[in-house]
Amino acid sequence: MDIENPDTAVTTRRGLLKCMAWAGTGIVWTVAGGVPRGLSIGEALAAPMADGFTFVQISDTHIGFDKEANPDPKATMSAAIAKIAKLPTPPAMVIHTGDITHLSKSEEFDTAGQLMKGVKQDVHYIPGEHDVIGDDGKQFFARFGSKDAAPGGWYSFDQGGVHFVGLVNVLTFATTKAGSFGTDQLAWLEKDLKGRSASTPIVVFAHVPAWPIYPQWGWTTEDAPQALAYLKRFGSVTFLNGHIHQVVQKVEGNISYRTAMSTAFPQPKAGEGPAPAPLRVPAEQLRSVIGIREIDVFPNKSASVTDTTLA
């Protein structure tokens, strides 16, 4: 299946939700019976779940950024956290899919850490390329790394019948200008998945997309095919990432790929302009093109993903 372009989506409820997602709506994921399903925050507010569980994805907060595209990413990150707090059914957890800071500075990590204290749920982090500048992520992993992580920072855990896998694909980004897992992490992933039933729902989260959205801009992970080969035997796999600051989705067999909005600023669509860069929009429109994500998981259904803007 090709990448879905909301510009050509038909005017149906499904099409409208896709258009909303492209515009930067936030997403809440719910998980029931081990299968993720997404609702909009509006839907979640109107009709709390009867079963299953919800988790929230937040991404690309870029604390420390101060250019015209968003002079105050602290305020928009705070707005995102406030959105999470208003959900009538509190999410089971929150995942942050990288670029929590803009330049990996100590004061940026300090500020981000203080802001994230506003999240009352457990938070699971993986780094973006902006979090590993100059020290291969030493500060990031010391502050936000999982205590159960392998030496390279990747880890997995189980919740609500779902196996979650947090992967790191940014440590070579500065030189390769693309995502990469590396042989050690791929070997770990194969071992981590080995012996698990094919009926186990899998949610993978990383920073850089696992499929080649636009390799010219580094919107790809070079050795993802090997990782995906280990995942193909599972009946339900949802792959969540950030990095491109917009929602693009693809379904290929049993694997659903979904990129997420930033809480800081949008970026142009693939190929529109010479390179990926913060996209400036009128100040009054900014919060309509950034947001968070809800993920809903219900029994015997695919993960449902809803992007909700901060507007």
Give the Cα-Cα-Cα angle 79, 118, 302 (nearest 5 degrees).
75
| Banded model confidence at residue 296, pLDDT cuts 50, 70, 90 | confident
pLDDT of 280-293, one tens digit each?
A: 999 999 999 999 99
Q: What is the pTM of this model?
A: 0.85
pLDDT of 234-267, one tens digit each?
A: 999 999 999 999 999 999 999 999 999 999 999 9
| Cα–Cα distance for residue pair 272/236, rounded to 1 Å | 33
What stretch of H or E contains 110? helix 106-116
Would the CA dihedral through 193, 198, 199, 201 be positive or negative? Answer: positive
Contact 29, 51 (CB under 8 A): no
- Whole-number average pLDDT of the chain: 86
- pLDDT of res. 297: 79
- pLDDT of res. 306: 87
Query: In sequence order, what are the beta bridge partners of 294?
Result: 28, 306
Count of C-beta atoms within a 10 Å radius of residue 158: 11
pLDDT of 4-28, one tens digit each?
A: 333 333 333 333 333 333 333 345 6
Nearby residues of 283 by Cβ (< 8 Å), 6 or more positions away:
none
Nearest CA to 303 out of 167, 233, 199, 203 is that of 203
% of residues, the chain, pLDDT over 70: 82
Q: Give the residue with greater pLDDT, 69 vs 44.
A: 69
